[in-house]
Amino acid sequence: MDGSIDNHDRRTFLRRLAGGVTGGLASSFPGCGPRRRAAGRKAIVLALDGLDPGIVHRLADHGRLPNFKRLAEMGTFGPLATTMPALSPVAWSSFITGQTPGGHGIGDFIARDPATHLPQFSIFENHAPRVTVDFGDVHLPLIGGGPVSLRRGKPFWAYLTERGIPAWVSKVPTNFPVDETATGAISGMGTPDLVDSYGSFSYYTSHRLEIYGDISGGTVDYVEVEANRVDAELRGPVNTLVSPPPGTGANQASIPFTVHLDPDRDAVCIRIGGRSVILEKGEYSDWVKVEFTLLPLIGKVSGIVRFLLKQVRPHFQLYATAVNIDPESQAVPVTWPKELGADIARDIGSYWTKGLPCDTKALDYGIINDEQYVGQAELILEERMALFRHLWSRFEDGLFYFYVSSTDQDAHMLWRNMDPSHPRHHDSDVRFSGWIPYLYERMDGLLGEVLPAVDDQTLLLVCSDHGFAPFAREFHLNTWLRESGYLTLKDSARRKEETAITDVDWSRTAAYGIGFNGLYLNLEGREKGGIVSPEKAGRLLGRLTRELEGVVDPETGQRPVARVYRRDEMYQGEATPGMAELLVGYTPGYRCSSPSVLGGTGRSTIDLNPWAWSGDHSMARDLVPGTLLASRPVTRDRPSILDLPVTLLDWFGIRRPEQMVGRSLLR
């Protein structure tokens, strides 16, 4: 070793210290050896998250989606039954494995630890290293450690590659850390930023009266402008290789940067890490590479960030996206093989690696406005189209799976702009009322690039995991449970208007909500301190179901809860007993409140939705089905997302694996 590992991630460095081998290029990597060919057949999947069949139908009827219409006439178009909950990580995990959530183990974005009742992310978890070597305050992990996927079950594409059929899988959700059974893969939803969060923006302002309270999803730094100069820091990952100074808590790496304000124009020059970036007001920068030093000389991690200059005067305002993992120098695996990331970047430049790229939290909290959000959304969309063309131009045979998140994230944030009946429509920027239909037209253009490849040996599927509906009013599930006597607070918390999961008295609580749709019993033998015996569980579940389905919103006369589903009637598999007993399916227009998602309670049971996040799908699954278009007629009247992996394997002549519960749509 030469004593330096610049531009290498921590794990690669530690493998080298331990004498390990990082491995070379896969034989199927473009330009790096012969590829094994499939027996003439191809399958193309365009996975368009949240694509709503009703919107597709209306736009196609108005002549705005000619390629969708052409594909429907060739084969099939209709709703696609989804999972319950109708959430992306749940549904796409079922697509990947062919299993219900009870099999693959992903039941929501948020799960809970039964030993503590505390919420936790459901897609992956970080494991501590099993072996470390300590040199004073320096701690070098040698064996184990890092992110581990929580999704169970064998991916359907592994059955292809085992038989020598290439499988290219781009941005599929819940595929982080990236699965190594594909020929080539790019991780998708669930992939964190470099700070190890689902997205943490940075905002710098000189306006001391900008108050954001308990903001989540980012940080706000108040800076001073002196002689047309601002000094600030960009936060990076927590440095676990070095002990933090006593009493300081986490040791977070950071990079200093300066911003020089043009005295005559609304423009600045940002100098960071030896690079200079010139921005004008309202402009996003290109990707800027940044390096965070973890250990002097030998330990650095690389990231990429974009800046947006909101304003120069009278108050300086600068926004920075989450620091994304650098695809050319990956701190954790986001492509397989790893060299695929650099290959893509050489062609199209750096690109968003964070699983959910658009910064929805920054818009929710008013850090950016609708126009600035759409500016970011345009960058993401163009980048995703460039990624598609890079991969599509190299595809020869086997499976080609390509995923787009824009149809989901932008529908979440800009539904209110499109929908005059939404209570937040009046404070939205109506210039973007047509953005969602525009996105569908762009997807029609994407489909138009693929359609010429369809022939007798090529199957084309366009599918989504769920549809969409308005989210106008929020239902505080845990508040309802508290007021109905099923959840009890500690005596010290009873006077609080808003509470957290840590305020619950578990010795007197029978049921609680965690996640967007989950309602758990505080079950004996499963939850720590559980009080509900298995013998009494069935009767309690029946009562909860009847009462929830009977709730009426006094302001609208509607029932916020359309249907409560029993877990045991829908799930099968080893993970089932640990999951929520009831799955609360909301009526379109309603959704679980953000405090309840994390186990908290609010001041009232039903409120107006306060967020820019105004469209949703965490409703009753039968009311927000996904979309399916296929280049061939299907044989089932009510196809399900669970049928799709079976169908794809059947297309290549592979029998349904035992773990899968769906049926082929081709026979």
Closest CA relative to residue 640, chosen from 401, 399, 466? 466
Dist CA 596 CA 600 (whole Å): 5
Q: Contact, 201 vs 319, CB < 8 A?
A: yes
Q: What is the pLDDT of residue 3?
A: 34
Dist CA 404 CA 50 (whole Å): 9
Across 90-99, 162-171, 233-242, 616-625, least confident range: 233-242
* Residue 300 tokens, joined: 């650095």
Q: For residue range 354-392, what is the model confidence (pLDDT) as tens digits?
A: 999 999 999 999 999 999 999 999 999 999 999 999 999
Dist CA 633 CA 70 (whole Å): 13
Dihedral, CA of residue 216, residue 218, residue 224 and residue 226, to nearest 10: -170
Q: For residue range 268-319, what is the model confidence (pLDDT) as tens digits?
A: 999 999 999 999 999 999 999 999 987 765 678 999 999 999 999 999 999 9
Q: Contact, 7 vs 329, CB < 8 A?
A: yes
Which letter, b or e, does each residue of 230-244 get, where b requires 16 or more Cβ atoms within 10 Å of its Cβ? bebbbbbbebbbbee
Residue ranges in 451-587 assigned as alpha helix (H) = 477-483, 534-549, 567-570
Measured at the CA of 527, the angle between CA 523 and CA 533, to 5 degrees, comes to: 20
Dist CA 229 CA 280 (whole Å): 16
- Between 21 and 316, the more confident residue is 316
Q: The whole model's pTM is what?
A: 0.92
DSSP classification of residue 32: S
Dihedral, CA of residue 131, residue 136, residue 138 and residue 140, to nearest 10: -20
- Please compute Rg for the chain using Cα positions: 25
Dihedral, CA of residue 508, residue 514, residue 516 and residue 520, to nearest 10: -60
Ordered by start, the domain boundaries in the chain are: 195-330, 474-607
**Per-residue pLDDT at 667 exceeds 90:** no
Helices 66-74 and 53-61: crossing angle in degrees, nearest 10, is: 110
DSSP classification of residue 36: P
- Sheet containing strand 626-630, edge to edge, reads 76-80, 626-630, 458-463, 42-48, 398-404, 167-170, 184-186, 335-336
| Per-residue confidence band for 174, with pLDDT thresholds at 50, 70 and 90 | very high
Across 30-44, 280-294, 643-657, least confident range: 30-44
| Per-residue confidence band for 118, with pLDDT thresholds at 50, 70 and 90 | very high
Q: Contact, 497 vs 474, CB < 8 A?
A: no
Residue ranges in 598-642 assigned as alpha helix (H) = none
Q: Which secondary-structure segment (H or E) carries 230?
A: strand 229-238
**Residue entry with tokens 């923006």:** 201
The total of other beta-carbon atoms located within 10 Å of residue 506's CB is 17
Q: E strands, 11-62, where?
A: 42-48
Q: Which secondary-structure segment (H or E) carries 237?
A: strand 229-238
Q: For residue range 470-496, what is the model confidence (pLDDT) as tens digits?
A: 999 999 999 999 999 999 999 999 999
Dist CA 282 CA 601 (whole Å): 39
**Residue entry with tokens 């033998």:** 525
Residue 135 bridge partners (DSSP): 138
Q: Contact, 629 vs 75, CB < 8 A?
A: yes
Collect all residues with Cβ–Cβ distance below 8 Å to 505 and sequence separation of at least 6.
Answer: 488, 489, 490, 491
Closest CA relative to residue 56, chosen from 67, 45, 46, 47? 67
Q: What is the pLDDT of residue 144?
A: 65
**Per-residue pLDDT at 258 exceeds 90:** yes
Residues comprising the chain, all counted: 667
Q: What is the pLDDT of residue 29?
A: 40
Dist CA 564 CA 412 (whole Å): 23
Dist CA 239 CA 195 (whole Å): 10
Closest CA relative to residue 88, chosen from 584, 626, 623, 622? 626
Interval 229-249 mean pLDDT: 79
Collect all residues with Cβ–Cβ distance below 8 Å to 211 and sequence separation of at least 6.
Answer: none
| Per-residue confidence band for 199, with pLDDT thresholds at 50, 70 and 90 | confident
**Residue entry with tokens 């694509």:** 51
* Residue 608 tokens, joined: 């107006």
Dist CA 60 CA 81 (whole Å): 21
* Residue 416 tokens, joined: 């209110």
* Residue 75 tokens, joined: 């084969």
The total of other beta-carbon atoms located within 10 Å of residue 570's CB is 15
